Structure 1
Amino acid sequence: MTDSQPTSAAKHTYDMGLIGNCAFLGLIKMDTSVAWLCWPRFDSSFVFGSLLDTKKGGEYSVKPAEGAFESTQYYLENTNVLRTEIDAGDGRYRVTDFAPRFAQYERYYKPLMFIRKLEPLAGAPRVRVVCNPVGEYGQKQLDRRRSSNHIAYLGLEEEIRLTTNIPLTYILEGEDFALNETKYLVLTYGAPLEAPLENTAEHFLRYTVDYWRKWVKSTSIGDFFQAQVIRSALALKVHQYEDTGAIIAASTTSLPEAPGSTRNWDYRYCWMRDTYYILTAFNNIGHFEEMERYFHYIANISTKLKGKYQPLYGISGTSELVEQELDLEGYLGNQPVRIGNDAYTHIQNDVYGQVLVALLPLYVDRRFVNPERTAPEKLVYEALSFIESTMDLPDAGLWEFRHIAQFHCYTYLFHWAGCHAAGHVARKLGNAEMEARANHLLAEATRRIEACLDEPRGVYTNAIGSPHLDASTLQLILMGYLDPASELAQTHLAALEKELMTPEGLFYRYRHPDDFGTPETTFLICSFWYVEALACVGRIDDAIREFEKLTRYTNHLGLLSEDVDAKTGSQWGNFPQAYSHVGLMNAAYRISKKLDKPNFV
């Protein structure tokens, strides 16, 4: 197991597992090292970040003292509790990693606490525990203070504390020891563990396993590829920052879309473009609580606008996400390493329709009460005004081109969808004037979508006056703009297949050059959109076949990246990518609804 740059022909996967509790996320490698963990928030500096710098990223590991070893990694079924088993020459041991989460005092207990349980399985393996957190993205080394039963790491805003029944001397001096009984490591940020170590760790483990299994039982997930949908749902769940309701696009920053591409972006923020798809995913599995929290995050942003909606916001709703480059070696040497994301300054006009579609259930879904608290008429009128004022303005589009502005078909599609949603709200409120305005703008959006139609080719291009195709226009079928039974839906889909699909069934976002050249890797959610489109137009056997192919592009735990190299099957881009898991969930739901009977796979 090495971290060297893979050859062009090798298959690269992210051999890591995800843990989280909706307050923080962590990525654990198969050698037990914590590759990524940010505290106190998803978008804070890492305290362990060897993923981006093997020297400055700190270390937290439980490795064999010496020699080669083999490892396996798996989740406790239907949970986000991760186990890594190490088989070394002198014995075997298991590390159970989890972030506590369970109901307590009529709310969820989700502390900034990372628990590791070490168990010998065979022999008396000698192990070495290293715990060296860092601050300020590796620029700050922390001071250590030894106490009776814990080590305090000082220098951040709050104390990091490691409480353990392993002799502290072994950890402080880097000495190995024989693991001949169960040991526990509890790492905290801020509030420390002030309770019995062993009993508390075991109780928290049992409560956390029970929480996740009950959560899975409360979902409405059908039989079609059920295990894969459950894993995707669990991954999506922990990408929600529960304190505010925001859902981030991915756990990480600066994992390259392709080696050497410099397409290395910080995805630890909340994109408005993802709103419709995320809410659809939670609705499809019957999870109301996550939807409601996300609704209120969006509504909160809507009430503090500064002239326009941005393409993305911070998890607290912050609007300034200034992009910076850090002096770090980068993942497998890929630079630059970026934090922040300048896409917040871009013009992306589909966001207004996204907001209207997202907020629609607040006013038409009877599970919600007291919608007046979000000032429905004001929000809808504002969004419609934005749609009207941007109808004839070019934008950066869904893919956030940095130096290209066009009249994008996808933008007009969400103008169209947003106006549909506004019309529903208007009828619910009995507001005839609002309904008339929504209908007028609906017609205008339709006219501009039709201006993207290349009639001789029977396909909608990516923008007015452009010859290029774009996978985002699959949404013309999925959102009901095109009748799935129509000949135009069939020819549009066929043209996209011909130009954007690889022989392996993967989809590029587009194939024309952008600010950074021509994309080298396929974008996974586009492949899932293709599967949905196949199901919509009645090609259900094709949809099932292509869906099954896509499930091969997970890592060993069923986790998906942002991008896939079609030739090697390699995972690239930020990881795990919530957007990709949303794509899997929605495609599986679309197929299962088309099947006449359950499909046990």
Structure 2
Amino acid sequence: MTQASLELSPIGNCQVSALVDAEGGFTWGCIPRVDGDPVFCSLLNGGERMKGTWRFELEGQTTASHWYERNSAILVTRLESEDGSAVEIHDFAPRFEKSGRMYRPVAYCRIVRPVAGAPRMRVILSPMKNYGEAVAETTNGTNHIRYLVGPQALRLSTDAPVGYILEQRSYRVEHDQHFFLGPDEPFVGNIRSETRRIEARTARYWQHWVRGLHIPLEWQDATIRAAIGLKLCQHEETGAIVAALTTSIPEAPLSERNWDYRYCWIRDSYYTVQALNRLGALDVLEKYLTYLRNIIDQARGGQIQPLYSVMGEGELIERKAEHLAGYRGMGPVRVGNAAYHQIQHDCYGQIVLPTAQAFFDRRLLRMADERDFAALEEVGEQAFAMHDQPDAGLWEFRTRQEVHTYSAVMCWAACDRLANVAKQLDKDDRAAVWTDRADTIRARIESEAWNEEGAHYGASFESDYLDASLLQMVELRFLSPGDDRFKSTFAAVERELRRGDHMLRYAAEDDFGAPETAFNVCTFWLIEALHLAGRSEEAREIFVAMLGHRTRSGMLSEDLDYQVNELWGNFPQTYSLVGIINCAGLLSKPWSEVR
């Protein structure tokens, strides 16, 4: 068996996605959306390559390489054999404007081109159903195969030999072959010309989207690839943004820290839209704000959950997928996430902060109005009421609750930004109310979170341990970079949590013991803090080193084993891609230097 790896490349269209391995095999992909049944699940199938996959195997294959077409989500994989023959595989999910709306079907396109010699190849297409319970049954016609993956079926339309595909038999590839795996309906038009037209229009969509980004002078390719990766994590129908495309990639070997990240965390999404907003990708922000308005309506002034499904469903019951062995056999594979019923008070600030922009940004198609302010004030009321109450915190502890400093600061930020919005709307009386509440929370944080003996803020009001989220106090404008309290807190956090060029989220034991891997976004927070502390060259060196840990596709997962430099955790992780974008913008030389 081949050992699974996170050397993966995402493709997608903001409806469905797939992760493609280094040899061009689909190893993970869910339908009809990101949190659906993984018809491609070999990534979590304990090393079983031939089930839950879609791959092209070249006879006598010796090498494989892959790259994205410039500024797009179209992946090209080149397979070469010992006799010098070769094929190139173009993989993408259709995405372009059609009939006045975005065409983004539950579909994958693959084009195989013979580019050298006389390649012989076999097609392995074995989607599974019910989280790896069984390989899908098939029926077929002259030019298509139906895969019964559950209540719905997928149809492969192709000009390749259907009989060879069904029997997984090798054959000579003498001309380009086209594959469209999508809804169970007849493919309209000529498969060759239509698939090529779809590829061209999809490429044009992505290139025009990238063209609208405001990117830094340095690290342009890294920034563009991270931005595309974040875009692929949005479910366009509702505007939700998932934390990652996968479930149950362990945070560390045999740790059982295996979680389903295919949901919309209010916290992660806040950081995602913040990063993309810095690049000018307002389309992601606008769609996410629509999602948030629905969440606020659903809450009706009550508690906001830390996460929801991409459709806004609040109940995400956690269970184990018994038929999947897990990444490298390291189960369990979890579906759903019990964190949905946790109390995490930072989410109130993470709703207010991105929504506040809609009251000021005149580029938006729909600016926020007084009705939105009234609804947002209800969120602020919850922030003020809960700022000094225990919660599970941003690290989602499952067995203990404290008043976490990060949550309190986020509640302060909610009140502070509501005061700004009230001023924008000429509501001076409401501005005074929210300013007073922000001041009240600030005073509480200063008195309860500050550790006089250690000369630093603590991670919670009750404990003196440290966590990396304290570095966000500047980003949230609670402290200025030059504040002595921030300087001394940064020194303490660096001393306690830094491991070489990497940062732990915390060092104290949690529900599963002591953390074993660095949390990648915390390393990016370290880089930002170093720059703010005037240690910019050191920050640049660590940033360049972090870029070196990316996959060949330019992606990062959640965690890194800093002893052997191996990626762990769900993939691609939005937090980590956000870190790339933020640090590139912070550290880059200005464009004025080349003008």
Q: Please tell me the TM-score bracket, short chain as reference.
A: over 0.9
Structure 1 residue runs of 4 or more that deviate by more than 4 Å after TM superposition: 54-57, 369-374, 595-600
Q: Is the 8 A contact 2:12 2:93 kept in 1?
A: yes
Matches of 2:54 and 2:370, distance apart in 1: 45
State whether structure 2 residue 236 is matched by structure 1 residue 242.
yes
- Among residues 127, 134, 141, which one is paired with 2:128 in the alignment? 134
1:123-142 per-position Cα deviation (integer Å, ceiling 9, x unaligned): 11211101121211122443
Counterpart of 2:440, as a letter, is E
The 3-state SS of whatever aligns with 1:170 is helix
Q: Say whether the 8 Å CA contact 2:384–2:415 is kept in structure 1.
A: no
In the TM superposition, what is the alpha-carbon distance from 1:598 to its structure 2 partner?
Answer: 5.9
State the secondary structure of the residue aligned to 1:375: helix
Which residue, 253, 258, 274 being the options, matches 1:259?
253
Could you tell me which residue of structure 2 aligns to residue 470 of structure 1?
Answer: 467
1:299–1:374: 8 Å Cα contact kept in structure 2?
A: no
Which residue number corresponds to residue 548 of structure 2? Answer: 552
2:69 aligned with 1:69: no
Query: Do residues 424 (structure 1) and 386 (structure 2) align?
Result: no
| C-alpha RMSD of matched pairs (Å) | 1.8
Q: How does 1:28-177 map onto structure 2 within 5 Å?
A: 28-53=20-45, 54-55=47-48, 57-65=51-59, 67-90=60-83, 91-154=85-148, 156-177=150-171
Aligned-partner Cα distance in 2 for 1:132–1:599: 53
Matches within 5 A, 1:332-371: 332-368=328-364, 371=367
Please say which of residues 533-542 and 509-518 is displaced more in the overlay: 533-542
Q: Which runs of 5+ in 2 are unaligned?
A: none
Is 1:383 aligned with 2:379? Answer: yes
**What whole-Å deviation, never above 9, does each CA across 1:76-133 have from its counterpart, x for those lacking one?**
1111100111111232111111111112222221112211111112111211101121
The offset of 1:367, in angstroms, is 2.4
Gaps spanning 5+ residues in structure 1: where? Answer: 6-12
Deviations 1:172-224 (A, max 9, x none): 11211011211111111345522210001111111111111111111110212
Identity of aligned pairs, percent?
36
Aligned to 2:266: 272
Equivalent of residue 310 in structure 1, options 283, 305, 308: 305
| 1:240-299 deviation line (CA, Å, top 9, x unaligned) | 111111110001000000010000000001101123312211211011111100111111
CA shift, 1:588, in A, is: 1.4
**Deviations 1:331-378 (Å, cap 9, x if unpaired)?**
101111001000000000011111111210121222236646682233
Letter in 1 for 2:79: I
Distance (whole Å) between structure 2 residues aligned to residue 170 and residue 244 of structure 1: 40
TM-score under structure 1 length normalisation:
0.94
Give, in whole Å, the separation in 2 of the partners of 1:392 and 1:481: 16
Cα deviation for residue 155 of structure 1 reads: 5.0
Amino acid at match of 1:122: A
What is the identity, as a one-letter code, of the residue corresponding to 1:121?
A: V
**Structure 2: how far apart are the matches of 1:34 and 1:577?**
19
Q: Does the 8 Å contact 2:361/2:367 carry over to 1? A: no
Report how many residues are paired: 588
Aligned to 2:2: 3
Counterpart in the other structure of 1:9: none
The range that moved more, 263-272 or 201-210, is 201-210
Matched, 1:285 2:282: no
The amino acid of 2:104's aligned partner reads: K
Q: Which moved more, 1:385-394 or 1:75-84?
A: 385-394
Shift of 1:534: 2.1
- How far off is 1:597 after superposition? 5.9
Structure 1 residue 591 displacement after superposition: 2.2
Describe the SS at the equivalent of 2:502.
coil
Equivalent of residue 566 in structure 2, options 551, 563, 570: 570
Q: Distance in 1 between matches of 2:56 and 2:405?
A: 52
Instruction: Name the CA shift for 1:48/1:288 in 2 (closer, same or farther; >3 Å).
Output: same
